[in-house]
Structure 1
């Protein structure tokens, strides 16, 4: 009974800033300001990918032959709005990534300095505005269209790195996987919705409508994001005192301007290189399928063109759904104490990569339409668990520097977006099954290499070089107290022995 009373007393006197710690996960996101941030980040990433992939569908309508008839309804000519050849179309579609790769590091650095919320909003908002001008640029000249796409890539390049600056201020450690995974699910929701709807818009209202609709949606989101989201709970007057104190206690809040990045330690950190290798590997498979899946379905599996758009979206729908599941599961395993953070990151990431390796190989051999789509869907969908591994790992090892680490890592992870489509085009010259096997084998091999590197070097612990002076001082105080208690206990034991 005495023990029970002791527990009751402890429960009644615990720090009020811990009051949220034992609350069950809830769908009532509007009760917590940080969950509203997550929801708006989800729609932000929805825009990131819808603005990125809409051209891949619209360009089909822009370059397809259409008939011109006279007053009697007789066909007098076949015309294209834009007579681009395959090389020019490839250049247009890849031009986005030439700008995208340039601002990864810059986005993370600026986000850490002035606040990730501002950089995230401006990056997506500027891309949306430029999207509205895409039809005008295309009608002006090919060079103008390329310039607009490159500039769009420059602005969108800051989004992934700077969102880590948002999480570092809003996300308590045991909620990082969940919050980040839900937000990143917007990428795949944007892909799933933009691909088929762009085709419908182009057919019903003309290819220009694709850019006007998605550009307009992005502008509406920009207004909401800039009006609602602040850099941290301490800057948000609508964040309750209880939630603010809880977040600040769990993660701490320091001035972004005071951050000094330990560059030597960063570039000699094996856990950081494990994240880079994993991110590169995941993106290789992702971009290979994102750019080549419709062609593979048509050339090797003989799907009709009208079905390829829908089937190409199915794997990303699976990934979007599983991202929420994997995030909740990762946090739950840590909350319950079943796995440490390192175990969660390593097991989720490497388990997903091993499964993706297997299903990529199966896709290469099972050239049955149904089973190939199933294998590809599973391979892409399981990537959600990898995202609950490497994608939030920056926040574990160095929360104060997470946006910069993401910027550096995403620079390398963007390379597959440029190289993979070019390599596939070089390998698949005759559209044979054997050529496609090579493409899938390469992806499987890269997944396996990423798995091995991450398993060896990954860590979920705060790195020594990433600790703030306050954290080091606190650790020293705790160490001194532990030593003092140890000496006291030894003295009491010796005194007892003397008696």
Structure 2
């Protein structure tokens, strides 16, 4: 259910990116932009190949929005998204992760369905809607982490968190081509109605199928409950324990994973938001194929994240390698690999097949973060994963504000200019490499001394009574330090 929920949220997020190609009137846009540069800086209209079909008339929309205006619209989503990451973990505590996620997706579905109406009212209304949508969506990640921190056993954590994360990319895989198809078949507003409506159906199933903790689930077997409780690192202490924020802020490993997430997110968000425009304006790809290529790229990313998460768990269980070594190895390839692909794209220029191959390779390699930074926060701070991930992901979401605006600045009045796009590729390469070096030097996946809450003796007695009532017979030796400032052993 979290997989499907994250998929719907990201479908709500990216359908605007593809629909924007059909919404904007290119002719009107050129009239209020600077003159285009010489034709040698542009790719010729193709005669054959992946982008050979004639461009559909649907690409000529009704809104005269310039690249800079489009960049602000795309970036405005992250104005709210960044803020929500910080408060999402706390709201998951107050409301419960189940209710937070359910209400979040319900509100998202309402806003997505209302998008066509607000587009007619002007850019300010669209920007406001995108800010609200980002604010709502920002609650999803911390909520999912808080929920899975109570459900995911340590030996399967990378796999289960990867399944949750690929839900976001699955939403892109389905949402982008579906938007392109519906835009040609029924007009771009239909895609918002269809994808928004699917969210309402999900909310009904979520209400009746999902529970906050394994102990609350009425249909869980005793053996499964026992397995989860013995392999979970969350203390499950009923007493609320505050996050040691001073230690978090001064923690090198926390900053290392945050910087790695920031650098990986820069190019990912930039191309998630601007790739449809690149395929349309530079490679002259029709909107339906545009959506299909986007689907291909993020589909490869989905598969890569799942396989890398599973592979890292397998390596951890079958070898004596430390968890930190495994995480660093996966994360290094996940950032250095795409950097190599980015620097190669300017070399092939207008060869659409080669460009798509390089972009696909970049996404496949970036997916190795499923065995890298995806699980590191839960590894380091099992009791505070939701809150700390929320803050870390908030900082890592800042590229969502900066990268579309920067891309819009380069492309303003230079629509389809290869040289301007090459600048974007080179910037992405440098940022990827910086993130890889930082995580390699300072990253860690070991449980930090402050990463778990103190265990309450009274709660341990209550848990013993609970296990006796379930007719479970096993003994657990418990060693408590008399010095409460020492980490528990």
Please report the TM-score for the alignment, with normalisation by the length of structure 1: 0.80
Structure 1 residues 59 and 174, CA, compared in 2 at 3 Å: closer, same or farther?
A: same
Runs of 5+ unmatched residues, structure 1: 1-39, 67-78, 481-499
Q: How big is the shift at 1:118?
A: 2.1
Aligned partners of 1:288, 1:57: CA distance in 2, in Å?
A: 14
Question: For residue 30 of structure 1, what is the aligned residue in structure 2?
Answer: none
Q: Kindly report which structure 2 residues correspond to 1:73-152, keeping only aligned pairs within 5 A, or say none.
A: 81-152=62-133
Assess if the C-alpha contact under 8 Å between 1:114 and 1:256 holds in 2. no
Structure 1 residues 230 and 358, CA, compared in 2 at 3 Å: closer, same or farther?
A: same
Q: How big is the shift at 1:359?
A: 1.5
2:450 is paired with a residue of what secondary structure? helix
1:399 is paired with a residue of what secondary structure? coil
Question: For residue 331 of structure 1, what is the aligned residue in structure 2?
Answer: 313
Q: How big is the shift at 1:103?
A: 0.8
Aligned partners of 2:276, 2:120: CA distance in 1, in Å?
A: 27
Runs of 5+ unmatched residues, structure 2: 28-59, 461-475, 483-489
2:10 is equivalent to residue 49 of structure 1: yes
Question: For residue 32 of structure 1, what is the aligned residue in structure 2?
Answer: none
Aligned partners of 1:295, 1:395: CA distance in 2, in Å?
A: 36
Counterpart of 1:423 (choices 363, 384, 406) is 406
Question: For residue 408 of structure 1, what is the aligned residue in structure 2?
Answer: 391
Aligned partners of 1:442, 1:256: CA distance in 2, in Å?
A: 47
Question: For residue 390 of structure 1, what is the aligned residue in structure 2?
Answer: 373
Please report the TM-score for the alignment, with normalisation by the length of structure 2: 0.81
Assess if the C-alpha contact under 8 Å between 1:132 and 1:215 holds in 2. yes
2:479 is paired with a residue of what secondary structure? helix
Question: For residue 184 of structure 1, what is the aligned residue in structure 2?
Answer: 165
Assess if the C-alpha contact under 8 Å between 2:25 and 2:65 holds in 1. no
Q: How big is the shift at 1:157?
A: 1.0
Counterpart of 1:378 (choices 356, 361, 373) is 361
Q: How big is the shift at 1:467?
A: 2.6
Question: For residue 337 of structure 2, what is the aligned residue in structure 1?
Answer: 355
1:237 is paired with a residue of what secondary structure? coil
Matched positions, count: 429
Assess if the C-alpha contact under 8 Å between 2:142 and 2:386 holds in 1. yes
Assess if the C-alpha contact under 8 Å between 2:237 and 2:455 holds in 1. no
1:470 is paired with a residue of what secondary structure? coil
Question: For residue 34 of structure 2, what is the aligned residue in structure 1?
Answer: none
Aligned partners of 1:139, 1:257: CA distance in 2, in Å?
A: 51
Structure 1 residues 175 and 132, CA, compared in 2 at 3 Å: closer, same or farther?
A: same
Question: For residue 477 of structure 1, what is the aligned residue in structure 2?
Answer: 479
Q: How big is the shift at 1:330?
A: 1.1
Aligned partners of 1:204, 1:352: CA distance in 2, in Å?
A: 37
1:161-215 C-alpha deviation (Å, 9 max, x unpaired)? 2211012100011111100111211111111211111122233223322111111
Aligned partners of 2:65, 2:333: CA distance in 1, in Å?
A: 43
Aligned partners of 2:103, 2:21: CA distance in 1, in Å?
A: 30
Structure 1 residues 181 and 88, CA, compared in 2 at 3 Å: closer, same or farther?
A: same
Counterpart of 2:272 (choices 290, 303, 309) is 290
Q: Kindly report which structure 2 residues correspond to 1:217-232, keeping only aligned pairs within 5 A, or say none.
A: 217-232=198-213
Aligned partners of 2:148, 2:101: CA distance in 1, in Å?
A: 12
Q: How big is the shift at 1:235?
A: 1.6
Question: For residue 313 of structure 1, what is the aligned residue in structure 2?
Answer: 295
2:177 is equivalent to residue 216 of structure 1: no
2:384 is paired with a residue of what secondary structure? helix
Aligned partners of 1:479, 1:260: CA distance in 2, in Å?
A: 20
Q: How big is the shift at 1:339?
A: 2.6
1:318-347 C-alpha deviation (Å, 9 max, x unpaired)? 001112111111111112134322122111
Structure richer in helix, relative to its length: 1
1:452-472 C-alpha deviation (Å, 9 max, x unpaired)? 111111111110012322399
Assess if the C-alpha contact under 8 Å between 1:112 and 1:256 holds in 2. no
Aligned partners of 1:290, 1:226: CA distance in 2, in Å?
A: 31
Structure 1 residues 192 and 250, CA, compared in 2 at 3 Å: closer, same or farther?
A: same
1:49-81 C-alpha deviation (Å, 9 max, x unpaired)? 100011222334344599xxxxxxxxxxxx965
Question: For residue 42 of structure 2, what is the aligned residue in structure 1?
Answer: none
Assess if the C-alpha contact under 8 Å between 1:112 and 1:403 holds in 2. no
Counterpart of 1:274 (choices 248, 256, 272) is 256
Q: Which has the higher contact order (CA 8 A, sep 6+)?
A: 2
1:246-288 C-alpha deviation (Å, 9 max, x unpaired)? 1112115514651211010010111100110111011011012
Q: Which has the larger radius of gyration?
A: 1
Deviates more, 1:324-333 or 1:307-316: 307-316
1:383 is paired with a residue of what secondary structure? helix
Question: For residue 241 of structure 1, what is the aligned residue in structure 2?
Answer: 222
Aligned partners of 1:80, 1:300: CA distance in 2, in Å?
A: 18
Q: How big is the shift at 1:475?
A: 10
Aligned partners of 1:232, 1:253: CA distance in 2, in Å?
A: 13
Assess if the C-alpha contact under 8 Å between 2:178 and 2:291 holds in 1. no
1:466 is paired with a residue of what secondary structure? coil
Counterpart of 1:342 (choices 324, 338, 360) is 324
Question: For residue 52 of structure 2, what is the aligned residue in structure 1?
Answer: none
Assess if the C-alpha contact under 8 Å between 1:400 and 1:466 holds in 2. yes
Q: How big is the shift at 1:87?
A: 4.3
Aligned partners of 1:449, 1:91: CA distance in 2, in Å?
A: 26
Assess if the C-alpha contact under 8 Å between 2:266 and 2:400 holds in 1. yes
Counterpart of 1:442 (choices 427, 432, 435) is 427
Aligned partners of 2:284, 2:61: CA distance in 1, in Å?
A: 26
Q: How big is the shift at 1:310?
A: 2.1
Question: For residue 262 of structure 1, what is the aligned residue in structure 2?
Answer: 244
Structure 1 residues 139 and 236, CA, compared in 2 at 3 Å: closer, same or farther?
A: same
